[in-house]
Amino acid sequence: MNSGKLRRQTMGVCYYPEHWPEERWETDASMMVEAGISHVRIGEFAWSLMEPEPGQYDWGWLDRAFETLASHGLKIVLGTPTATPPKWLVDQMPDMLPVGKNGQVRGFGSRRHYCFSHLGYREECARITRALAERYGKHPSLAAWQTDNEYGCHDTTYSYSEAAEAGFRRWLEARYGSIDALNEAWGNVFWSMIYRNFDEIELPGQAVTQTSPAHQLDFRRYSSDQVVAFNKVQSDIIRAHSPGRGISHNFMGKYTDFDHYAVSADLDIATWDAYPLGFLEREIGDEALIKQYTGVGDPDFDAFHHDLYRTCGQMRNGTDNGRWWIMEQQPPGPLNWGTYNSEPLPGAGRLWVWEAFAAGAEVVCYFRWRQPAFAQEQMHEGLLLPNGEPNQGYHLCGQISKELDSIQATPAADHADVALVFDYESQWMLDIQKTGQDVSHLDTVLRTYRALRRAGVSVDIIPPKKESIVGRKMVLLPMAMVLADDFVDALEASEALIVAGPWTGAKDQNFAIAEDLPPGPLRRLIDIQVRRIETRRPYLPFPLSDGGSFAGWREHLILGEGVEVIETQSDGAPAVLHTGNVLYHAGRGDDVAQDRFIRRALTLAGVPWFDLPQDVRIRDNGKLRYIFNYSKKTVDMSAILPDADVAMGSMELAACDVTAVHLK
Question: 345 with 392: CB under 8 angstroms?
Answer: no
Which of 26-34, 71-79, 148-156, 619-627 is the region at the interface with ligand GAL (rule: CB under 6 A)?
A: 148-156
Nearer to ligand GAL, 368 or 447 (CB): 368
Residue 95's nearest CA partner among 112, 114, 110, 76 is: 114
Taking the alpha carbons at both ends of the chain, their separation in whole angstroms is: 32
**Which DSSP letter does residue 102 get?**
T
273 binding ligand GAL? (CB under 6 A)? yes
The whole-angstrom separation of Cα 59 and Cα 578 is 65
Taking CB under 6 A as the criterion, which residues in 290-329 touch ligand GAL?
328
- Closest separation between CB of residue 356 and ligand GAL, Å? 16
Choose, from 328, 355, 403, 567, the residue flagged as catalytic: 328
Q: Which of residues 545-584 bind ligand GAL (CB under 6 A)?
A: none
Q: Count the site residues for ligand GAL by CB under 6 A.
A: 11
Residue 123 designated active-site: no
Complex with ligand GAL: residue 376 or 570, whichever CB lies closer: 376
Residue 505: which region, alpha, beta or left (left: phi > 0; alpha: psi -120 to 50)? left
Q: In 82-173, at which residue ranges do the beta strands (DSSP E only) sit?
A: 142-146
Q: Which of 44, 51, 124, 150 is catalytic?
A: 150
Task: Report d(CA 135, CA 106) in Å as an integer.
Answer: 33
User: Cβ closer to ligand GAL: 84 or 314?
Assistant: 84
| 168, 275, 357, 422: residue in contact with ligand GAL (rule CB under 6 A) | 275
| Stretch of 147-155, 255-263, 293-301, 395-403 contacting ligand GAL, by CB under 6 A | 147-155
Dist. CA 109–CA 125, nearest whole Å: 19
- Within positions 439 to 498, which residues make up the interface with ligand GAL, using CB under 6 A? none
Nearest residue to 278 via CA among 352, 204, 194: 352
Stretch that binds ligand GAL, among 145-153, 160-168, 212-220, 595-603 (CB under 6 A): 145-153
Q: How far apart are CA 486 and CA 468, in angstroms?
A: 12
Closest distance of CB 14 from ligand GAL, Å: 8
- Strand locations in 331-403, DSSP E? 363-366
Count the alpha carbons within 13 Å of 71 in the hemisphere toward its beta carbon.
12
Report the distance separating Cα 261 and Cα 332, nearest Å.
30
Within 354-413, the residues that bind ligand GAL by CB under 6 A are: 367, 377, 380
Question: What is d(CA 249, CA 263) in angstroms, rounded to the nearest whole number?
Answer: 9
* Least gap, CB of 120 to ligand GAL (angstroms): 25
- 251 belongs to the binding site for ligand GAL (CB under 6 A): no
Interface region with ligand GAL, contact rule CB under 6 A, candidates 115-123, 149-157, 193-201, 642-650: 149-157
Distance CA 14, CA 197 (A): 49
Q: How far apart are CA 131 and CA 237, in angstroms?
A: 10
Out of 105, 126, 153, 648, the residue judged to bind ligand GAL by CB under 6 A: 153
Is residue 150 part of the contact set for ligand GAL (CB under 6 A)? yes
Cα separation, 96 vs 106, whole angstroms: 10
Number of H-type helices and E-type strands within the chain: 18, 25
Residue from the set 90, 284, 335, 419 that interacts with ligand GAL by CB under 6 A: 335
328 is catalytic: yes
Q: How far is the CB of 346 from ligand GAL (least distance, A)?
A: 21
**Given the rule CB under 6 A, which of 146-154, 205-213, 255-263, 633-641 is the region that contacts ligand GAL?**
146-154
Give min distance, CB of 149 to ligand GAL, in A.
5
Amino acid at 340: Y
Residue 367 DSSP code: S
Q: Which of the residues are catalytic?
A: 150, 328
Residues that bind ligand GAL (CB under 6 A): 149-150, 153, 273, 275, 328, 335, 337, 367, 377, 380
